[in-house]
Amino acid sequence: MTELRVGVIGGGQLARMMTPPSINLGLTLRVLAESEGSSASLATATVGDYNRPEVVLEFAKTVDVITFDHEHVPLEILEKLEESGVSVQPPSRALRFAQNKLEMRQRLAELGLPMPEWAKITEPSQLADFIYEHGGVAILKTPIGGYDGKGVRVVREAAAANDWFQNLADFGGALLVEEKVDFVRELAQLSARRPSGEFKAWPLVETIQANGVCSVVKSPAPNASASVMSATEDIARTIAIGLGVTGVMAVELFEARDGRILINELAMRPHNSGHFSIEGSITSQFEQHLRAVLDLPLGDTAPTAEHAVMVNLLGVDSENDFLPSYGIAMEEFPGAKIHTYGKGARAGRKMGHVTATSSDASSALATAEGAAAVLLRG
């Protein structure tokens, strides 16, 4: 009997949420996890260090395609895999732009895509000049290693980044500075592309962050015009083709007060902005990712309801435990779809999410937020 085997590097919640569609489709999902008891340990998990080439190469021998739960696998390792004939999706030549925000800005500029003003800097004096030229404030980012807002700072004086300048080597030798966009909201455009070229996008969504971490996603983005929605789909298509991206990709965007749509950053994997698609779309981002990396035809991305709202369960403290509140949450909000990730509790950590769909946007929001509040109360 034929077998199709997908290997995911990283044992987080994204790998975990690939499990149900892999079971439905009869695929074999294997995970290379950082540790025992990872969020994705429901799948066949091997524990090993993704920074060690021999570990990743051994793991790759057990699957037909390698893909990712996170973007941190060193490029040299992925290039080695590709040289030895392993299918890596997205390929290293695309993933490099998701690993390094400076390379991403450079490449998107070559493609003529709309972005905040930005510069590559290596000296505090360059930061001081940029701040001066941009109204006394800027956003400073470490090009590599950031996530959930770590590695992003609002700066009003160059001295506020001395620690980063002193450790430039850790960030690839330079920092990324950007204009602080006066945005009315943040948006995300989710899409998928197969190695053989097929491309599909989901409707544009609005993302709301709390302390730099995604907290609520509304699909579709409220009051987004048809022209904005087709423009963001075009942006995603241009990026996917231009960078050679395969699998699911999320493009994080700003809607500026002056109406401009600007690209913030890219993720080349299923993304928090797409969790709504598990219930809110005919094909979820997790199923689509599996189909795409195996170069199978992509599924329909049409919505299953007029509105879907996803609310993250962000850890409050180390005592967080959702199961005791399941009874109340489920009784009060039978329409809420609860997802928990089996992760140890920590303040601010993404521990799970709740999605609600409805023909009415405010009732979807009320259901998802209501259930999340009950679960977080413990």
Ligand X SMILES: Nc1ncnc2c1ncn2[C@@H]1O[C@H](COP(=O)(O)OP(=O)(O)OP(=O)(O)O)[C@@H](O)[C@H]1O
Given the rule CB under 5 A, which residues bind Mg ion?
Answer: 252
- Closer residue to ligand X in complex, CB, 79/148: 148
- Closer residue to Mg ion in complex, CB, 69/252: 252
- Closer residue to Mg ion in complex, CB, 187/356: 187
Residues 6 or more apart in contact with residue 216 via CB below 8 angstroms: 207, 208, 309, 310, 311, 312, 365, 368, 369
Burial of 6 (0-12, 13-18, 19+ CB in 10 A): buried
- Closer residue to Mg ion in complex, CB, 5/185: 185
Q: Of these partners, Mg ion, ligand X, none, which one is at the site of residue 146 (CB under 5 to 8 Å by kind)?
A: ligand X
* Residue whose entry in the numeric block shows the structure tokens 């690993």: 99
Binding residues for ligand X (CB under 6 A): 116, 139, 141, 146-152, 178, 180-181, 186, 209, 212-213, 252, 264-265
Q: 141 and 175 in contact (C-beta within 8 Å)?
A: yes
Q: Of these partners, Mg ion, ligand X, none, which one is at the site of residue 132 (CB under 5 to 8 Å by kind)?
A: none
- Closer residue to ligand X in complex, CB, 154/302: 154
Q: 350 and 314 in contact (C-beta within 8 Å)?
A: yes
CB of 95 to ligand X, least distance (A): 15
CB of 72 to ligand X, least distance (A): 12
What are the structure tokens assigned to 48, written together? 């090993």
Q: At what angle do helices 92-99 and 101-110 cross, to 10 degrees?
A: 110
CB of 250 to ligand X, least distance (A): 9
What are the structure tokens assigned to 330, written together? 């489920």
CB of 116 to ligand X, least distance (A): 4
Amino acid at 295: D
- Closer residue to Mg ion in complex, CB, 183/333: 183
Q: Of these partners, Mg ion, ligand X, none, which one is at the site of residue 261 (CB under 5 to 8 Å by kind)?
A: none
Residue 96 Cα distances to 15, 53, 241, angstroms: 20, 17, 15
Q: Of these partners, Mg ion, ligand X, none, which one is at the site of residue 151 (CB under 5 to 8 Å by kind)?
A: ligand X
Q: Of these partners, ligand X, Mg ion, none, which one is at the site of residue 287 (CB under 5 to 8 Å by kind)?
A: none
Quickly count: other Cβ atoms within 10 Å of residue 347's Cβ.
10
CB of 176 to ligand X, least distance (A): 9
Q: Of these partners, Mg ion, ligand X, none, which one is at the site of residue 178 (CB under 5 to 8 Å by kind)?
A: ligand X
What are the structure tokens assigned to 314, written together? 């962000």
Q: Of these partners, Mg ion, ligand X, none, which one is at the site of residue 212 (CB under 5 to 8 Å by kind)?
A: ligand X
Buried-state track 71-86, b at ≥16 Cβ within 10 A, e below 16: bebeeebbebbeeeeb
Q: Which stretches within 49-120 are classed as H helix?
A: 53-60, 75-83, 92-99, 101-110
CB of 253 to ligand X, least distance (A): 10
- Closer residue to ligand X in complex, CB, 252/369: 252
CB of 265 to Mg ion, least distance (A): 5
